[in-house]
């Protein structure tokens, strides 16, 4: 049995399914929405948006997931506290006949696009039992990849035009490393050190060498320079040398320069050096100065070692301030820096989980969608009910100014005044005049019993991310204390929400 197959779920999805089955509700049409409540908070800094990722792996999984003989046997083996079978045979026969998720229709935000709190990322419509069973697998895939793509996007924002390499496979959670690599590349990393995933995604893997190469040579009586020379002989056109095994400035750098000079005499062009410890900005300045003196102004300087967006931001600020004191052009230096980001990207350092949820918002009764509601003492947990459409609102600058949730049956037009209501505060609203805004529907149908489109190339997902981030207000993109992006309701949806809350509380 595949441990990542259809039983890759929580038990309560299956026990609820048996309740629906026993009560005759299992084939009632239901509508669930997946969304998250808050942007990642890293402690000293917060995200102003997320980058949606994980959809393609989810759709591929849905097409393959099935209740087969092994899965049914596994469920049959489960017992209740009384020792009786937990699942009835007629329920198990139904699951086997059902197979998988052929009855579901999914509308989703296209993968790679920017997302915001409370806005549906995926809308799942279909038989109640099937839709319920999808919850765990959906959240497992979307929450993690969205979290990592968001961290990678922030790293990209800090790095600017510089190359970012993802080095995190060894620190990622087991097989989650595959998802981390994919999400990092969607979010903004240029390349990854992960060989198999890079190949599957159609990208060349990138990497240098480890300290152990130098250590091995030195333990056997050779020198650091011998290790560098051996690497250069094997990879004369791909030579990147790690400088800090012994001493970056007094050992690694002069040895690297000698090997680079040998490469040059043989007609080869050295690629770069890497620094993995110490005051990275200061060392990069000193290394750049010496490389320039030796006639290697084009050699790249790869920085690694617990980097994240704020560390990169600090490195760039320090280079701009300190480099001129040593006669180094800071702008030229910044253009030759490459950032190798590992642990802090693939574990989303400071914000290890995205609070994504999957909520029932409507049930179809007699051909009409009846809104489902959930209230809470926490305002952010009060559900936005009903069958909805989602729009992105662009202002006169062409920048995204709000995401708007509307009831599916209402008409939202650009040629009429549009009132945006705060989701929880009845005193906050604003009205946009016709001609001052543009609307873009966000959710697209991606699955109807099967996926409707083949997987897109990774480069297309990255282009979506780039386009969407470029259309955010600079304040929302800010790495520290970003502006709050507005998520609003139409008047009709706000009124429905208030009415349902009154009913439940009354």
Q: Write the DSSP string, 396-428.
A: TTS-EEEEEEEETTS---SSS-EEEE-SS-TT-
pLDDT band at 367 (very low <50, low <70, confident <90, very high): confident
Based on the fold, state whether residues 286 and 182 are members of the same structural domain: yes
Would you say residue 72 lies in a domain? no
Give pLDDT tens digits for 255-279: 999 999 999 999 999 999 999 999 9
pLDDT (mean) for 138-159: 98
Is the confidence at residue 163, as pLDDT, over 90? yes
Residue 437 is predicted with a pLDDT of 97
CA angle 367, 371, 376 (to 5 degrees): 165
**Residue 290 and residue 261: Cα distance in Å, rounded?**
13
Co-location of 235 and 273 in the same domain = yes
Q: Give the global pTM.
A: 0.95
Number of independent structural domains in the chain: 2
Determine, yes or no, domain membership for 468.
yes
**Do residues 311 and 409 both lie within one domain?**
no
The verdict on 377 and 439 lying in the same domain is yes
Verify that 226 and 119 share a domain, yes or no: no
**CB-based contact 481:408 (threshold 8 Å):** no
Question: Is residue 182 included in any domain, yes or no?
Answer: yes
CB-based contacts of 385, cutoff 8 Å, min separation 6: 361, 362, 371, 372, 373, 496, 497, 500
Q: Are residues 329 and 462 in the same domain?
A: no
Pair 188, 266 in one domain: yes
Domain closes at, from 295, 311, 346 = 346
CA distance readout (Å), 489 to 21, 44, 398, 418, 457: 35, 30, 21, 10, 34
The secondary structure element, H or E, covering residue 242 is strand 240-242
Per-residue confidence (pLDDT) for residue 380, from 0 to 100: 72
Domain end point (choices 283, 318, 346): 346
Residue 69 has pLDDT above 70, yes or no: yes
CATH of the domain at 184: 3.20.20.70
Q: What pLDDT score does 506 carry?
A: 65
Domain that holds residue 221: 150-346
**Residue where one domain finishes, among candidates 324, 346, 368:** 346
Q: For residues 91 and 75, is the Cβ–Cβ distance under 8 A?
A: no
Query: Has residue 392 been placed in a domain?
Result: yes
d(CA 407, CA 409): 6
Residues 173 and 127 in one domain: no
CA distance to 58, 135, 176, 325, 478, per residue, from 32 (Å): 16, 9, 26, 60, 32
Q: Same structural domain for residues 334 and 386? A: no
For residues 141 and 218, state if they share a domain.
no
373 and 468, same domain (yes or no): yes
| 143 and 156, same domain (yes or no) | no
In a domain, 84, yes or no: no
CATH number of the domain bearing residue 113: 3.20.140.10
What pLDDT band is residue 164 in, cutting at 50, 70 and 90? very high
């Amino acid at each position: 049995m595949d441990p990542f197959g259809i039983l890759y779920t929580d038990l309560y999805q299956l026990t609820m399914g048996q309740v629906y089955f026993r009560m005759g509700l299992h084939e009632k049409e239901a509508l669930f929405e997946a969304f998250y409540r808050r942007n990642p908070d890293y402690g000293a800094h917060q995200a102003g948006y997320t980058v949606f990722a994980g959809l393609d792996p989810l759709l591929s999984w849905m097409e393959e997931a099935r209740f087969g003989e092994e899965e049914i046997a596994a469920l049959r083996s489960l017992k209740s506290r009384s020792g009786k079978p937990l699942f009835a045979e007629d329920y198990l026969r139904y699951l086997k006949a059902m197979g998988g998720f052929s009855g579901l229709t999914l509308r989703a935000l296209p993968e790679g696009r920017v997302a915001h709190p409370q806005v549906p990322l995926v809308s799942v419509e279909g038989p109640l039992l099937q839709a319920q069973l999808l919850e765990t697998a959906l959240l497992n895939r979307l929450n993690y990849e969205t979290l990592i793509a968001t961290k990678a996007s922030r790293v990209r924002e800090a790095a600017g035009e510089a190359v970012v390499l993802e080095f995190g496979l060894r620190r990622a959670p087991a097989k989650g490393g595959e998802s981390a690599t994919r999400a990092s590349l969607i979010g903004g990393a240029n390349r990854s050190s992960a060989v198999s995933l890079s190949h599957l995604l159609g990208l060349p893997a990138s990497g240098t060498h480890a300290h152990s190469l130098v250590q091995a040579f030195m333990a056997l009586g050779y020198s650091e320079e011998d290790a560098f020379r051996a690497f250069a002989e094997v990879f004369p056109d791909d030579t990147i040398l790690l400088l800090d095994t012994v001493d970056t400035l007094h050992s690694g750098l002069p040895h690297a320069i000698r090997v680079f000079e040998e490469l040059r005499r043989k007609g080869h062009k050295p690629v770069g050096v890497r620094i993995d410890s110490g005051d990275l900005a200061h060392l990069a300045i000193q290394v750049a100065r010496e490389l320039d003196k030796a006639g290697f102004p084009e050699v790249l300087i790869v920085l690694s070692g617990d980097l994240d967006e704020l560390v990169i931001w600090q490195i760039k600020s320090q280079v701009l301030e300190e480099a001129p004191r040593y006669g180094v052009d800071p702008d030229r230096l910044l253009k030759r820096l490459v950032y190798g980001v590992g642990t802090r990207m693939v574990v989303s350092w400071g914000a290890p989980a995205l609070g994504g949820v999957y909520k029932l918002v409507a049930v179809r009764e007699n051909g009409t969608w009846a809104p489902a509601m959930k209230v809470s003492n926490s305002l952010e947990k009060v559900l936005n009910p009903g069958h909805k459409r989602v729009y992105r609102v662009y202002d006169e600058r062409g920048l995204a100014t709000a995401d708007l949730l509307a009831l599916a049956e209402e008409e939202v037009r650009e040629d009429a005044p549009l009132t945006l209501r705060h989701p929880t505060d009845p005193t906050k609203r604003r009205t946009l005049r016709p001609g001052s805004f543009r609307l873009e529907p966000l959710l697209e149908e991606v699955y109807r019993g099967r996926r409707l489109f083949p997987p897109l190339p990774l480069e297309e997902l990255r282009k979506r991310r780039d386009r969407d981030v470029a259309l955010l207000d600079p304040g929302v993109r800010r790495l520290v204390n970003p502006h709050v992006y507005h998520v609003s309701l139409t008047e009709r949806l706000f009124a429905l929400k208030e009415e349902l809350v009154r009913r439940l509380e009354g």
